Amino acid sequence: MRCAFSWITCPAPAPTCPTGGDIACAVEAQGAVRLLIGDVMGHGARAAQTAAEVTRAFRALAGGPAQCPPPQVIATRLHEFVAARDCGEEFVTALVVCVPMDDTTAAEIVCCGHPRPLRLRDGRVTLLDAVPPSPPLGLLDLAGARPRTEPLPASPGDSLLLYTDGVTDARDPAGRPYPLAERAAALSADSWPLLQALRSDLLRYTEGNFRDDATLLHLRFTRSAAGEGVRGRPDALSFVRN
| Of residues 15 and 104, more confidently modeled | 104
Q: How confident is the model at residue 55 (pLDDT cuts 50, 70, 90)?
A: very high
| Distance from C-alpha of 224 to C-alpha of 156, rounded to nearest angstrom | 8
| Distance from C-alpha of 161 to C-alpha of 153, rounded to nearest angstrom | 13
Q: pLDDT at position 77, please?
A: 95
Whole-model pTM? 0.85
pLDDT tens profile 145-189: 788 899 988 887 888 899 999 899 999 999 999 999 999 999 988
Contact call for residues 113 and 136 (beta carbons, < 8 A)? yes
pLDDT tens profile 74-93: 999 999 999 998 766 789 99
Extents of the domains making up the chain: 2-241
State the Cα angle at 14 between 8 and 17, rounded to 5°: 70
SS3 240: strand
User: What is the pairing mode between strands 239-241 and 2-8?
Assistant: parallel
Q: pLDDT at position 231, please?
A: 46
Q: How confident is the model at residue 118 (pLDDT cuts 50, 70, 90)?
A: very high
Across the chain, where does the E strand assignment appear?
2-8, 22-29, 32-40, 92-100, 108-112, 118-121, 124-127, 133-134, 149-151, 159-163, 214-220, 222-223, 230-231, 239-241
Question: What fold is seen in the domain 2-241?
Answer: Phosphatase 2c; domain 1 (3.60.40)
| Helix segments in the chain, DSSP class H | 44-63, 71-84, 140-143, 165-168, 180-190, 194-206
